Structure 1
C-alpha cells in the first residue's frame, strides 16, 4: 500500500474553481485503486490537506496520467491549484 499526503494550495481568487476541481479529480481515485482517507480544509480557505492511499504505486502512477484528470487541469489553466505530495507511512 502507498500512502500520500497532498498539500493543495488554491490560486488567489480561484478558490471555488479549485475546490470543484479537487472534488472532481478525487472522485477519480477509485478507478486507480485509490481512496481518499481524509480531506481537511485550511481555515484560510485557500488550502487543503488530503490523505490518500493506493493499493500499489502503479495506481498512483496511473492516476497522475489519467486523461480526464489531465483535461480538467488543462481547462482550469492558471486557476489550477498547486500541490505538494509527500509519501508517508504510519509510525
Structure 2
C-alpha cells in the first residue's frame, strides 16, 4: 500500500478551473488501483489537500503517466495547479 498526501495550489484567478481539473483527474485514480481517501479545501479556496492510496507504487506511476491526465494538464497551460506530493505512513 502506498499513501500520498498532495498539496494542490491553484493559480490566482483560475481557482474554479483548477478545481474542475482536480475533479476530473481524481476520477481517474480507480484506473490505476488508487483511491481518494480524503479531499480538503483551504478556507480561502486557493488550495486543496488530498490523501490518496494506491495498491502499490506501480499504480501511482501509471497514474502519473496516464495520457488523459497529461492531456488535461497540457490543456490548462499556465492555469494548471501546482502540486507537491509527499509519501507518508502511519505513526
Shorter-chain TM-score bucket reads over 0.9
Kindly report the root-mean-square deviation, in angstroms, between the aligned alpha carbons of the 2 structures.
0.3
Q: Secondary structure at the match of 1:49?
A: strand
Deviation at 1:44, TM superposition (A): 1.2
Deviation at 1:16, TM superposition (A): 0.3
Q: What TM-score results when the alignment is normalised by the length of structure 2?
A: 0.99
Residue of structure 2 in register with 1:49 after alignment: 49
Unaligned runs of 5+ in 1: none
Deviation at 1:88, TM superposition (A): 0.1
Q: Secondary structure at the match of 1:45?
A: coil
Matches within 5 A, 1:1-91: 1-91=1-91
Q: What TM-score results when the alignment is normalised by the length of structure 1?
A: 0.99
* Whole-Å separation in 2 of the counterparts to 1:77 and 1:20: 14
Q: Secondary structure at the match of 1:83?
A: strand
Unaligned runs of 5+ in 2: none
